[in-house]
Structures are given as structure tokens and as C-alpha cells.
Homo-oligomer: A and B are copies of this chain.
Amino acid sequence: MIGMVLMNFREERAEKRKQDILKTAIKIFKEKGYNDTTIEEIANEMRYTKGSIYYYIPTKEYLLFECHEIAMNMILEKTRPIINSELSPLEKLQELVRKHIDVLIDEMSLLTMALQHEFDLEPEHRQQIIEMRNEYEDLYAQVLEEGVAAGIFKDINLSLTKLAILGALNWIPHWYSKSGPFDKRQIADFFSEYQIAPLLKDSQINNASLSPKGEKKR
């Protein structure tokens, strides 16, 4: 995105085509999975030919890699600002959880697909994605440390805490359904309390959002 200003309109158009291809690929990957999607299907969907696709992309795996990149960037872009905000550590952590759920549910099919096909990435690409994931997890680590330092969080094992919080969130795509009993808001409310509660000292606990009354009317 940065640097796009330096492109002339030709390069912009090419970039746009590439994005179109990626969008189409994502769409079909979501529906049928990476392995069961052929380049030809992507081409047909766009009324291109197979050969034309390869004018814009080097390999099919590269498309998968870009899916991962996009997914990670979406989440990183939304959460990075939280760290430098004026919020308290507790509020930051809650915001992290809420934003995570936000992106997760909004872009669930992309994220699920990407996760499902992590091992179909070339080792080099996989490494890059893992590094982005580490960067993301570090945001949690930072906030947790901040909170402990500020005397707000209990002094418990922060590595495992981080993994517990993120695990519960990352599992959401395994059970969430648009037509299911819970909407995004309820889920965010619940998890931002439930997964954080064990960190809090007694006085801070507030169970408002854990209430069983929160079920969506259907």
C-alpha cells in the first residue's frame, strides 16, 4: 500500500488484476479448500485463461501464501494501535480480545482456510507467516507484562496465559456459525471477560457479560 503512489497507472492496473486474482482464489479456496481448487477454476471464474493467471502470479502456492499474509495483516493492523494507546493494561487486553474476535468472525472463512492449509505452504513462506504470528503474540505478551508490572494482573505464568487466551479465541471458527445462537458481540463480551478473569485480583471481577441471558433471540 505504501509505495503505491509511486506506481504509474499501468502498474496500478496490473496490481489490481493481481488483487482480483487473489480475491477469486480466496473465494474458491474458501469453498473447496486449497488442494481441491485448480488454477483453471480460478481462471474460468474470472473469464481468464490458465496462462493469463500465470502472467500475474508465479505459483499456486504463492496465492495461498498471500492469503496468509492478508489474514495476518488484517489482524495486526487492527491490534497494533491498541498497544500504544492510552488505555490501561486491562482495557488493552480486552480490546485485543475484542478486535481478535471481530476480525476472526468477519473474515472467518479466510482465516479458517488459511489455518487449515498452513502446512501446504513452502517452508520459506511458512516461516514468514510464523514470524508474523510471533509478532502478534508478542502484543499479548507485552500487555500482560504491563498489567503485572502495574499490579493489575496477578503474577501468574504469562506464557501459558497468553496461549490459553489465544487458544480459546482461535478455536471459535470451529464452532461459530452465522446462524448459530451467538452473535459476534455476545461472543466478544463473553470471551473478553471469561478468558481474562483468572488474571484479575478479586476486587476487579465483574461478571456482567458472562450472564447466561445473553443468548441471541432466534
**Cβ-defined contact, B174 with A198, below 8 A:** no
Q: How far is the CA of A164 from the CA of B186 in the complex (A)?
A: 13
Copies in the complex: 4
A156 contacts B211, C-beta separation under 8 Å: yes
Shortest CB-to-CB span from A50 to chain B, Å, is 11
Cβ-based interface call for A70 (8 A): no
Inter-chain contacts of A182 with B (CB < 8 A): 159-160
List the B residue with the shortest CB-CB distance to A157. Answer: B212
Known A-B contacts A163-B175, A169-B167, A171-B171; A198 and B202 likewise in contact (beta carbons under 8 Å)? no
A45 interfacial by beta-carbon distance below 8 Å:
no
Interface string of A154-193 (1 = CB under 8 A from B): 1111111101111111111011000001100011001101
Chief secondary structure at chain A's binding surface:
helix
Is B35 touching A155 in the complex (CB atoms < 8 A)?
Answer: no
**Besides A158-B212, A163-B172, 12 new A-B residue pairs in contact (Cβ under 8 A), listed by A number:** A33-B120, A35-B120, A116-B116, A116-B119, A159-B215, A167-B170, A167-B172, A170-B174, A193-B198, A197-B197, A197-B198, A202-B202
**Within the complex, what minimum Cβ distance (angstroms) separates A26 from chain B?**
16
CB within 8 A of A35: which of B35, B164, B190? B35
Contact of A168 among B116, B157, B168 (CB under 8 A): B168
9 inter-chain pairs at a CB distance below 8 angstroms, sorted by A residue, are A154-B210, A156-B210, A163-B168, A164-B191, A167-B168, A168-B168, A168-B171, A193-B198, A198-B198
Instruction: Give the nearest-CB partner of A161 in chain B.
Output: B194
| CA A212 to CA B157, docked complex, whole Å | 4
- Report chain B residues within 8 Å CB of A193: 198
Query: What is the CA–CA distance of A33 and B35 in the complex, to the nearest angstrom?
Result: 12
Asked whether A194 lies within 8 Å of B198 as measured between CB atoms, the reply is yes
Contact B212 A156 (CB under 8 A): yes
Determine if B164 and A195 form an interchain contact, defined as CB atoms under 8 angstroms apart: yes
